[in-house]
Amino acid sequence: MSNLGLRGGLHQLLRNFEIAHDEYVKVQGKNFHTLELKAIDNLTLEHIECNCPILGAWQGGLIVEYNGKSRAVGESEVNHNLYPTEAVLIKGDPLRVITQRVNMNGRSLRWLVDNLKANHDYYLLGELFVDSGLQVNVNNIELYHPVIFGGSTVRLHYARAGDLDDYLNMVAIRGEVVVQFWLRPGDEIVELRFSGDESVSTPDVLEGMI
């Protein structure tokens, strides 16, 4: 208890999700973090246990990776996929985040996926305005999905290439996507390059933040 501090010690004893969330928000972007989690799936009522990598925060909860999918953990049935019954925040390796903004005006998500070549896995964030002509049900827009389609907008929040299958042919009228790489100590430098379109200009220096 003395090494962890009062709040950290209580967190280990109580395994409280609210404490885990608050502590993560204070330090996100500095280290990789894992959530030692027991939770109930709000849709299927399945009870799950995992050591889930944390991707970010969402509507008072956390986004974690579970079985290869991004899921939101929290106390709201409206905003979150998983209801936590026990949770402990686990600090991992130091994290360095490298970002690159990509102008998507007049380009499709298929163009982005086909032409984005990198030597590291990446996450996609951003908002695109599209003219799809499709009518969609947006009742669940507050529930976390890596891709949220609202009829005229496509919002990406920690999406990966595999999350885009239903949206690849949508062309952006305007908008941009932020490509975000997460690096551990000793990882090779990020190499980001586009191919197949000579009109694309890739900056020599990526914007980095820790």
5-94: which CATH topology?
A: SH3 type barrels. (2.30.30)
Q: Is 126 left (phi over 0), alpha (psi -120 to 50) or beta?
A: left
3-state per-residue secondary structure call for 93-153: EECEEEEEEEECCCCEHHHHHHHEEECCCEEEEEEEEECCCCCCCCCCCCCCCCEEECCCE
pLDDT tens-digit series, residues 1-56: 444 445 555 555 668 999 999 999 999 999 999 999 999 999 899 999 999 999 99
CA distance 54 to 191: 24
Interhelix angle 5-14/17-27, rounded to 10 degrees, is 140
In the chain, which residues fall in CATH 2.30.30.690?
5-94
- Write down the pTM of the prediction: 0.79
Residues 59, 112, 163, 124, CA torsion sign: negative
